[in-house]
Amino acid sequence: MPHLQDKAAIFRLGVTIFVYLAVLTGLEYFVAVTFASVLFLIVIALVKAALVAYYYMHISRLNAEHEGEPESHGYRTGTMRLGLWLFLLSDSFVFGGLMVARVNLLGMTRPELNQLLGLLVTGILLASSFFMNRGETAMEHGDRKSFLANTTLTLLLGVLFLVGVVGLEWPMAIHAGVKPDSGAPGAIFFMMTGMHALHVTTGVIFLFIVLGNGRKGLYTSEKHWAVEAAAVYWHFVDLVWIFFYPALYLIGRIA
């Protein structure tokens, strides 16, 4: 089990994964502005998603064997973990459907957007995932102070992401002529970012709740399912953006 390991080692692993993700994002951008290979971009996105799913979302915990008797806390947490992942599976079909709509309507074109801002919000969300992972790891080791600090940072970065997308990118896109009713690129852009922003918002609310209860001292290193759920959900939202970012900003030429 991860929480039996050394906390510092897990923190170091988190940093390594974050560096990998950051480098891959940079590579993604480089590929897009130079030889623009869609295959490359898809492979990079898949690698990033796999890193997030394995190291941040601990997908392998679904396969945990030593959970104890059916009535025990460990077994029940396992059931809830399965429930959460089933929910994420279901939810990913919405995002998959939006990607299908994007490919069907826009093909090898994309809306005209602010590249710098796109890279910036992607970085912000990535960083928030990093701090979320630190917060969850801290809670697993009973370090409440570090948990609260890191989760607060995650929450602030999440809000910053929302400000970047909804508060800055949307008005800028409208100003540049990419409007909800101006044609397929605008419709797709607003629906995809809107649905994603809705999920970020629910994630922020979830983090608020976890922070509030964490401050009351309701979580221990043994019992903190809500923290784990909030973290996995938060990483899922990041994972969706790993695919949405290239789909909206990098692939194809400007429509």
Partner 1 sequence: MKKLNPVLRGLLFMLVGGSAGFALGLVIALAATGQADPAGSVPAVFAWFLGATAFFYGLSGYGPAARGLVWQVVGTLAGALFVTLLRLVMGLDEIFGSFLFSEPAWVFGALVGVLSFIAGSRIADDWWKWAKGISTPEHDEDPADWRKYLGVSLDHKVIGIQYTMIALLLLAIGGTFALIFRTELAASQLQFLTAEFKLFNQNGLQIYNSLMSLHGMLMIISILLGVSGIMNYVVPLLIGAQDMAFPRLNAFAVWIAVPAAVLLLASLLLGGFDTGWTGYPPLSARAPVGIQMFFLGVFTAGWSSILGSLNIIATIVRLRARGMTAWRMPIFVWASMATSIIALTATQLIGLSFQLVMFQRLLGMGFFDATRGGNPVLFQHLFWFYSHPAVYVFVLPGLGVISELLPVFVRKPLYGYRFVAVSSLGIALVGFLVWAHHMFTSGMNEYLRVPFMYSTLLVAVPTGVKFFSWVATIWKGKIETPTPMLFVLGGIIVFLLGGLTGPPNATVSVDLHLHDTYFIVGHFHDTIFGGFVFPFFAALYYWFPKATGRRMNETLGKIHFWLMTPSFLFLTFGMMRIGLLGMRRRIADYDPALGLDTTHLLMTVAGYLIALSVLVFFFNFFRSITKGEKAAGNVWNSRSPEWLVPSPMPAHNYAVPFEVVGEPYDYGLPGSRFVEFSKAKHPEAH
- Which amino acid, 203? G
Return d(Cα 157, Cα 143) in angstroms, integer.
Answer: 21
Least gap, CB of 60 to partner 1 (angstroms): 16
**Which residues in the 193-212 window bind partner 1 by CB under 8 A?**
209, 212
- Note whether 186 binds partner 1 by CB under 8 A: yes
Comparing CA positions, the residue from 193, 192, 199 lying closest to residue 97 is 192
Closer by beta carbon to partner 1, 46 or else 94: 94
Are residues 196 and 240 in contact, defined by beta-carbon separation less than 8 angstroms?
yes
> Interior CA angle at 12 toward 8 and 13, to 5°?
120
Least gap, CB of 236 to partner 1 (angstroms): 14
- Note whether 90 binds partner 1 by CB under 8 A: yes
Among 19, 23, 33, 86, binds partner 1 (CB under 8 A): 86
As given in the structure block, the two tokens for residue 150 are 């890191």
Number of C-beta neighbours around residue 187 at 10 A: 18
- Note whether 70 binds partner 1 by CB under 8 A: yes
> Interior CA angle at 118 toward 98 and 209, to 5°?
75
Of 31-39, 132-140, 152-160, 179-187, the window that binds partner 1 (rule: CB under 8 A) is: 179-187
Return d(Cα 28, Cα 115) in angstroms, integer.
Answer: 13
Least gap, CB of 25 to partner 1 (angstroms): 28
Closer by beta carbon to partner 1, 110 or else 134: 110
- Note whether 37 binds partner 1 by CB under 8 A: no
- Note whether 177 binds partner 1 by CB under 8 A: no
Distance (Å) of CA 175 to CA 16, 121, 169, 220: 39, 19, 10, 49
- Note whether 35 binds partner 1 by CB under 8 A: no
Number of C-beta neighbours around residue 68 at 10 A: 12
- Based on its alpha-carbon atoms, the radius of gyration of the chain, rounded to whole angstroms, reads 19
- Note whether 111 binds partner 1 by CB under 8 A: no
- Note whether 78 binds partner 1 by CB under 8 A: yes
- Count residues near partner 1 (CB under 8 A): 37
Return d(Cα 25, Cα 45) in angstroms, integer.
Answer: 9
- Note whether 91 binds partner 1 by CB under 8 A: yes
- Note whether 187 binds partner 1 by CB under 8 A: yes
Q: Which residues bind partner 1 (CB under 8 A)?
A: 70, 75, 78-80, 82-83, 86-87, 89-91, 93-94, 97-98, 100-101, 104-105, 180-188, 190-191, 209, 212-213, 216, 218, 226
